Chains A and B, each alone.
Chain A
């Protein structure tokens, strides 16, 4: 089964940009849609968006103005950028593969905690 691993800074300053990368292994990045989901004590699980190998993407309207996703097929990686972060963006960020036409999420990466603080 495909495996996913998130990487990126664990601490981001308020108003700056959060940048994370997900590396896909034991599978092809051409095979599925790829999503970002975050989990915080206050807001629970929140879907951020998904991207396809072609570059087509779909974002949560609540975050759309601040989110950009990209994909690098040569490296089997996809990435998330979230701009103008605040403490409310502190969460564990997961990357995940989408099943079906990006319906359910399976599998998920282990997650990475990102804290927004000065």
Chain B
């Protein structure tokens, strides 16, 4: 199975500041012939199911604010919240869909400093 490792486990950021979450896969999840990274990001608020934010590593889902962006390729990926808002307090997960079984990172908790 591909192991997805997120860092940090948690971070506290001031309102309006940048939050950066990292995700590393145990093997490349770049499908060369399609030049696509098989990675998604989700946001989970307390008591709610995960919500899709980004797929193909950098494509924002419809309706997701543009302060959320995804980057990276191969084995190293980043989710950036450019200007943290109060409603962004949540746990964020990365997810690889390159191989069966698909797997998730352990999550990064984002809080307000």
Contacts and interface: CB of A to CB of B under 8 A. Distances in A.
Interface residues of A, number: 22
A105 B50 contact: yes
B52 A104 contact: yes
Contacts of A60: 100-101
Nearest to A102: B97
Contacts of B40: 103-105
B55 A62 contact: no
Contact of B101 (A61, A99, A108): A61
Interface string A88-118: 0000001010011011111111110000000
Nearest to B102: A47
B103 A47 contact: yes
B106 interface: yes
Contacts of B106: 44
Contacts of A94: 49-50
26 contacts: A44-B104, A44-B107, A45-B50, A47-B103, A47-B104, A58-B100, A60-B100, A60-B101, A61-B101, A62-B101, A94-B49, A94-B50, A99-B52, A102-B97, A103-B40, A103-B97, A104-B40, A104-B55, A104-B95, A105-B50, A105-B52, A106-B61, A107-B49, A109-B49, A110-B49, A111-B49
Contacts of B100: 58, 60-61
A94 B106 CA distance: 17
Interface in A50-67: 58, 60-62
Closest A-B pairs by Cβ, 10 of them: A108-B49, A106-B52, A45-B104, A104-B40, A60-B101, A103-B97, A104-B55, A47-B102, A44-B106, A111-B49
